[in-house]
Amino acid sequence: MKQLTLLFLILANVLFSCKSKTIEEQIEDDVVLENEQPKEEDKKEEIPDVPKPDNYPFEIEGAISAVLKVDEGSKVPFKNQLLGYNIEGFKSTVEKDFIRKFNPVSIRFPSGLWSNFYQWQTDGYQNDSWDNKSHEGGLEIYVEKIKGHINEIAFLNEEKKAKYGQGFNMMWTYSMNFDDAESCVARAEKDKGLGFEVKDIELGNEHFWKSQRSNQTKTEHDFYERASSVAEALHQRFPEVRVSIPISWRRNHEAYNKVIIGDKNYYDAISLHRYMGEDPDVAEESNTAYSALLTSRVVLDTDVKWVRSVAGEKPIWMSEWGVSANDNVEVNSGACLGMADVYLYMTENQEVFDRANWFIFNKKTNPMVVVNERRKPIYPLQKRGYLSVYEIMHEAFINAEVIKSTITSTRLTDTMNAVNAVLVEKGGQKIVVAVNLSYKPANFIIQSGDTVYNGTFKHEALVFDELGPVVNIGIDDNPKKLIKDGTGVITLPELSVSVIRLGNEL
């Protein structure tokens, strides 16, 4: 009898000890802190045997865990214009219906290098005797045949205002090659007269490339004189207008950058074009390429910090960006994961990133729908992996409030988390968007103060079976699958983008 009593007391003591763990002890059990490794015997008992795929670029020892610590008292509105993209095609009924279907948050007009040659007075394009090298052939076609279709965009803008109460959040690119201060002011007045919002204007597109200049902007000094005079005139006529100048992230363009910034006072923002990633299909380079794709946020962060150190602590307008693997019809999952993580990175750093436009929705470079050899959407429309990621971000973030949070995660590298996540509140519901960049499932904890969330949740995810091609799907198909609808442990699938809707308060 004494032996049974003693055994009961021992068991009770063990149970009491387990229940009385502090929140810090629970987290320590789940997350291997930086520079700390689990004991070898713990690895064998707790970590499932998940072999590393041959093409995965990082060695990961142990299980993957992440804790999202939330500060519910700190919220900021999500900047919807971070979900912009470049898009073309506004003339035909089919093209207009395409715009209506996807309802862009923002339209950049004109998009790409052709904006340097746009002639707003005729809605066409122009050129001079300057040698634009490889662009000359395209310019000839644009000058002869292409129109911007600004009136058609204005029609769609009025439709959008009538239906949604607000038109397109326009990202304008004005030509420094051919338009002086007086001409740019006149253009802004015309654009306003067409019913557009004229608030954010880029002064040219990538003038650090000589192939995009004209006889009026032969040198960086010419560009500075033109851009600074245009900025002064626009600010004087329209005090609400903000202007940006295109700064190159390439270190060999530093001398050019330093000339065009002047005293750093005449412009309000920095236009940055950055395409992350590499092609994993290049022989013997897949590991390097996948490393570049999965660490896209680190690549961007490094270049943004450098650009701002040169041009000033100005807001960044990512008027062209993308995460690219190759030109195949099917997007590579590594590019999709990198894209999702960059969206989270920009959302976490809205004090730096003011707006962004993916390049390009429906043409050759990084399209979100399948296009043909003429760079036009194929009907019936098909959704590429990029669009699956974009729809997740749009559904969760548009018109939401971003709740301040920090994440502690197992690392892929010294500077890169295996898991990143953002918490927002939308329509009274809290939503977590999380990216697991590792090839292992991740234990995921949401913590507010000293409390770990243990309420109900609905967890859906876009899950990639491997690093490789992502099958295109029907344009209205849902690429997410249900992971869990209930309570208990939250586990992020490997190589996934998760949406977790919380059913209770934190």
Tens-digit pLDDT profile for residues 241-259: 999 999 999 999 999 999 9
Look at strands 242-246 and 200-203 and give their pairing: parallel
d(CA 200, CA 283): 43
Q: Which residues pair with 485 in a beta bridge?
A: 458
- Locate the domains of the chain by residue range: 22-76+404-502, 79-400
CA distances to 136, 178, 218, 495 from 215, in Å: 14, 9, 5, 50
d(CA 196, CA 180): 21
- Identify the sign of the CA torsion 402, 342, 469, 63: negative
pTM of the model: 0.90
CA distances to 19, 67, 372, 432 from 417, in Å: 30, 11, 37, 17
Domain 22-76+404-502 has CATH 2.60.40.1180: yes
- Using the predicted structure, report yes or no on whether residue 4 has a pLDDT greater than 70: no
Q: Select 79-400's CATH number: 3.40.50.300, 3.40.190.10, 3.20.20.80, 2.70.98.10.
A: 3.20.20.80
- pLDDT at residue 504 in the model: 86
- Using the predicted structure, report yes or no on whether residue 431 has a pLDDT greater than 70: yes
pLDDT in tens, 351-397: 999 999 999 999 999 999 999 999 999 999 999 999 999 999 999 99
Mean pLDDT computed over 70-75: 95
**Maximum Cα–Cα distance across the chain:** 105
Q: Quick one: pLDDT band at residue 286, thresholds 50, 70, 90?
A: confident
Look at strands 490-492 and 442-448 and give their pairing: antiparallel
Residue 456 neighbours by CB distance under 10 Å = 13
Q: Name the residue with higher pLDDT: 5 or 103.
A: 103
| Tokens encoding 419 | 């898991």
- pLDDT at residue 2 in the model: 41
- Using the predicted structure, report yes or no on whether residue 40 has a pLDDT greater than 80: no
